[in-house]
Amino acid sequence: MFEIKDKFYLNGEPFKIISGSFHYFRTVPEYWQDRLEKLVNMGCNTVETYIPWNFHETNRGEFRFDGMRDIERFIRLANDLGLYMIIRPSPYICSEWEFGGLPAWLLKDKNMRLRCSYEPYLNAVKDYYSVLIPKLAPYQIDRGGNIILMQLENEYGYYGNDTAYLEFLRDTMRELGITVPFVTSDGPWSEEIFKSGMAVGALPTGNFGSAAEWQFGQMKKFIGEDKPLMCMEFWNGWFDAWGEEHHTTSPEKAAEELEEILKRGSVNFYMFEGGTNFGFMNGRNSGSKTGDVTSYDYDAPLTEDGQLTEKYKAFRDVIGKYADIRTIPLTTDIRRSSYGMISCTGRTGLFSVLEKIAEPVRSVYPLTMEDIGQNYGYILYRTKIKDGETVNELCLENAADRVQCYHNGEYVYTAFAENMYEKFEPNEKRTGGIISLLCENTGRENFGTGLEDQRKGISGGVKVNDHRQFGFDIFPLPLDEEQIGKIGFDEGYSEGVPAFYRFEFEADELCDTFVDFDGFGKGCVFINGFNLGRFWDIGPQRQLYLPAPLLKKGKNTIIIFETEGKAADFIRV
């Protein structure tokens, strides 16, 4: 039995939660146990995870709980290691994850209103919870499991103040069998924000990275003196965005902050291990134009590839003052190596294989990804210029996020960020022919009040010579495993345009390694059909982590999709 009174109580005894955030969806399942064992050895008694809605209901009504999505297996592993669990299954999670965990298909509704009492949104949440919550309920501590807390929503005070919506989440979870206590979490530095995220029947907790004495003091003003204090997200590091600096926090400073928290209450490290934004699942914070990098290392106590850091050791020393630390053996054999320089064995241009890998949708006007049922990746718009018309000027209306324009297969310009809606005059004037517009979804915003404006592709128009162009073939390019499998490398190749590059190597021993994309510009990398994530030569990330379980003995195939016409003959793996 777990109770919230003046303190947290476990089976009638006071209990200090010492928890670490570890996201099952950012680490291959073969390594879950290794990371959890290291969490135990650092001194934690609890593990916390979000559950991202878009990871499990990939398309409406299509649910997946297999492989990397097997949340029940993750819960059982934690239980076997004697770890309690905090589950944060709220429809929105932020977490620098694509769209904050909300599924992109919600935006197919042109009137969609998110995170409030808009009936179609609530119906979608109810349908999702009707599948998810019954999977979690049997693992609650009062049923013999290890789940001690559930979170209603995430940092809701930053978004809105619809109390009825929070009550809907609470009541729906209760109806579906949740009996453990609820929590909310918000920043304590603003009374208005903190109180807007509170809900009757849920303990408010705080998210912060420093000044614990002051933060907890603020929280007491809002929740009273008779409730336990908890930092639900102790930000012991930070995330990175493309083109910006790599963020770190010194182990000494982080350890000092941890001690200030543990003197006064309970803690959940954000993050214990960050992991990787595999595929196209990186988020983008409001105000950022580039999107977050593939690595979610977060400067956490464990590195992206699971290695102990000085911060890990410093935290262990602090935790040892407040709890007895168990030490258990590490049972996963993880080897690290390099496979050397790998040469390119095939290359083909996107325009050469386009019609073989994608079926076009024909429309008078541009349609967004959401309009055609696509969630992530790229989308290409192709339109024919009338015979005799010379293209003197091009301009986009309402497009996201990055658009590259080609005329008869020749690069014209890139529309992005500040210049997205500028008029562009081509240096070389061409008459007639085909205009191709390759649009990249760089990651939907995961924080802020702009969530409803995250439709991707072209939602307005394409203006040619100051008039709207009509008549489009729209090619969905989700670059999922099925589409990548259709690529042939004997279809033709031209330099300077988007293209696919194939690299092959033999592996006798399966080891963790990194893919170095030096010499390539911007794009994404696939290993044996699995999308490792994005790369971009503007940094700060210079390599992509490749965990051994994604390799196979014998021949392995890496395919790089590069959009800037910048490529090398070799890569290092």
User: ∠21-280-154 over CA atoms, to 5°?
Assistant: 40
* CA distances in angstroms from 115 to 53, 194, 196, 476, listed in the order given: 13, 16, 13, 28
Reduced to 3 states (helix: H, G, I; strand: E, B; else coil), residue 437 is strand
**Which residues does 472 contact at the CB level (< 8 Å), separation at least 6?**
362, 363, 364, 365, 366, 367, 381, 382, 383
User: Pick the catalytic residue: 233, 304, 370, 445?
Assistant: 233
**Dist. CA 98–CA 52, nearest whole Å:** 9
**Dist. CA 261–CA 305, nearest whole Å:** 28
Q: Which long-range contacts (C-beta less than 8 Å, at least 24 apart) are formed by 201-208? A: 201/170, 202/152, 202/166, 202/170, 203/4, 203/227, 203/228, 203/230, 205/230, 205/231, 205/232, 206/230, 206/231, 206/232, 207/155, 207/231, 207/232, 207/233, 207/235, 207/270, 208/233, 208/234, 208/235
**Dist. CA 226–CA 494, nearest whole Å:** 70
Give residue for tokens 């959940």.
268
User: Pick the catalytic residue: 155, 260, 370, 564?
Assistant: 155
- Cβ pair 160, 115 in contact under 8 A: yes
- Cβ pair 275, 249 in contact under 8 A: no
Could you tell me the two tokens for 459? 């939602």
Would residue 155 show up in a list of annotated catalytic residues for this protein? yes
**Dist. CA 233–CA 427, nearest whole Å:** 52
String of DSSP letters for 261-272: HHHHSEEEEEEE
**Dist. CA 416–CA 432, nearest whole Å:** 25
CA-nearest of 107, 110, 121, 114 to 456 is: 107
Give residue for tokens 């969806």.
25
**Alpha helices by DSSP H, 358-493:** 481-484
Would residue 233 show up in a list of annotated catalytic residues for this protein? yes
**Dist. CA 544–CA 573, nearest whole Å:** 9
Residue type, 193: I
**Dist. CA 149–CA 506, nearest whole Å:** 46
Please give the positions annotated as active site: 155, 233
